[in-house]
A and B are shown apart, each in its own frame.
Chain A
């Protein structure tokens, strides 16, 4: 049970990552690899500031702003200087590696005894509800602080998911979605598509950096390597969500990205429990995303061939 709560908590924290990836991959139709740098940026900014004595909430907000700037920078390189989108992301991701090392001063910052937003939430929950120690949940004993953490992270994810939905349904957000869908059309209707891309990638990477900041505080450290494979992980979550919910309307797609992240974490936990070598995790994730991307195409071909043979 305790393991399950931990799994869901990480799944929800990484749901912020998949929301960010959803924006770049599904709204702007390009896989933004800035993700791998900005999730680490979020982690390293928050860890370094917390160790430096800042309030953990302030540290988390600064991490979010840092992610926004990283994403906006990718957008600026892509639009103003006409560099290929993928390459713009690679440039910023590579640059962020050094930036992250500078921010932390070393390659790994532990947050063992420091006050983080996670410990703050746990303490707040325990003092408000006047409980401590362990409680019994569905027949097994779990630390009560873990339950508070899960509930708070769930709350944060739901609020941000809802805000994202409201934003994308606004006049500005609609113009942003149209930018990813048909640039020629939306320019002819008076929208500066460059600004939309810069703003959209900024928001995407702000969510991703927030995910990194919360993740670092949850797991108790920030590491300069933690971003590796995160884009593919986000893509996997988005794709799982779409497979589960066939409805392509915006609200369902956002819910799908969140649910997809949870299910992905659950699958990983089960696989590890069954004895999968953790070193194979990224290989299997990559293969999974490959299959998910190619499968619809293969199925279509197969169907068409089937239809032809019937004639």
Chain B
């Protein structure tokens, strides 16, 4: 269970480029739930994910995962509990190293790294077994550099690497946004399969309303650094892509009206 309490973050405070990215966000993500995070551009979805992963420390608030306080824990220590897949397919793998070496790095996520031989025979066998179900014919290419693979193949491997050791939390940051529709479909099917099989607690950011309504058990919608909608259970299941788009339209319309005028209209008519 992930508990986020009163998280705030302002980038470049007291300068012209000041950005209030997260303002006072609180939410609890139940164990084994699959939460989809949607929002307008610059709403803070990715920032929230990065705050949880530890790319930066929040100005205020706490982040607790399964009773462990992560708030002040450096990124590389949190990696013990968190698996990540990035938007850019090139971010999640080391291009000049082989597929097997990349997997070996993932097999040691959060563990101490000794002077022992990284690619043992048993480990390579295990790689072959777990890469085969991807149906990408990578099991015979374990010794070729991962940089030679396509974006989709690399993203599929990154997903496999992020979940190689079962993480307490899986963070997916628009991990299909940079892929062509067909490959994106494959990676999405893989995501559902892994999350369901391993019963992973998952937080996924997406731009695709279709993915948002068809995947997961809960939708959080963000706007201007706040969570503005939260759909779960029956409500989430009934939600259609069109409903989400309508909500975005509402937000956009409210934007157009001056906040003071909006307040006045509210008092007069609502």
> Which residues of chain A have a CB within 8 Å of any CB of chain B?
167, 169-175, 177-178, 181-182, 184-193, 248
| B115 contacts A172, C-beta separation under 8 Å | yes
Q: Is the CB of A192 within 8 A of B116?
A: no
| Cα–Cα distance between A171 and B82 once the two chains are bound (Å) | 20
Cβ-based interface call for B91 (8 A): yes
- A169 CA to B105 CA, complexed, in Å: 11
Do residues B79 and A181 form an inter-chain contact, with CB atoms below 8 A? no
Closest A residue by C-beta to B91: A184
One of B20-28, B106-114, B131-139, B204-212 contacting the partner: B106-114
User: Across the interface, which residues of A come within 8 angstroms of B114, CB to CB?
Assistant: 170-172
Within 8 Å CB of B84, what residues of A?
A: 188
The SS class assigned to the A binding surface is helix
The verdict on B96 contacting chain A, using a C-beta distance below 8 Å, is: yes
Q: Does B149 count as interface, using CB distance less than 8 angstroms?
A: no
Partner of A191, one of B91, B113, B161: B113
Assuming the contacts A177-B97, A191-B76, A193-B76, asked whether A185 and B92 have C-beta atoms less than 8 A apart, the reply is yes
CA distance A185 to B77 in the complex (A): 14
CA distance A185 to B79 in the complex (A): 11
Knowing that A177-B96, A191-B76 touch, tell me 20 more A-B residue pairs with CB under 8 angstroms. A170-B113, A170-B114, A170-B115, A171-B115, A174-B101, A174-B118, A175-B105, A177-B94, A182-B90, A182-B95, A185-B93, A187-B75, A187-B76, A188-B53, A188-B75, A188-B86, A189-B106, A189-B110, A190-B77, A193-B76
**Residue of A whose beta carbon sits closest to that of B101:** A174
Main secondary structure of the interface of B (DSSP, over half): loop
Residues of B within 8 A of A169 (CB): 117-119
Find residues 111-167 in chain B having any chain A CB closer than 8 Å to their own CB.
111, 113-119, 145, 161-162
CA separation between A178 and B90, bound complex, in Å? 13
Residue of B nearest to A174 (CB): B118
Range, interface on chain B:
35 or more
In the docked arrangement, what's the CA distance between A54 and B90, Å?
53
Name B's A-contacting residues (CB within 8 A). Answer: 53, 74-77, 79-80, 82, 84, 86, 90-97, 101-102, 104-106, 108-111, 113-119, 145, 161-162
Contacts of A175 on B, CB cut-off 8 Å? 105, 108, 113
Q: How far is the CA of A189 from the CA of B106 in the complex (A)?
A: 6
Q: Which residue of B lies closest to A172 (CB)?
A: B113
A185 touches B115 (CB 8 A): no
Cβ-defined contact, A181 with B86, below 8 A: no
Q: In the complex the two chains form, what is the Cα distance from A15 to B60 in whole Å?
A: 53
Docked complex Cα distance between A188 and B75 (Å): 7
Chain A nearest CB from B205 CB (Å) reads: 15
- Cα-based distance from A115 to B34 in the complex (angstroms): 71
Given contacts A171-B116, A172-B115, A175-B105, contact A190 B76 (CB under 8 A): yes
Given A188-B79, A189-B161, A190-B76, A171 and B94 contact (CB-CB distance below 8 Å)? no
Q: Are A181 and B95 in contact (CB under 8 A)?
A: yes
Q: Which residues of A contact B106 (CB under 8 A)?
A: 189
Whether A187 lies near B79 (C-beta < 8 A) is yes
Nearest A residue to B171 via CB reads A188
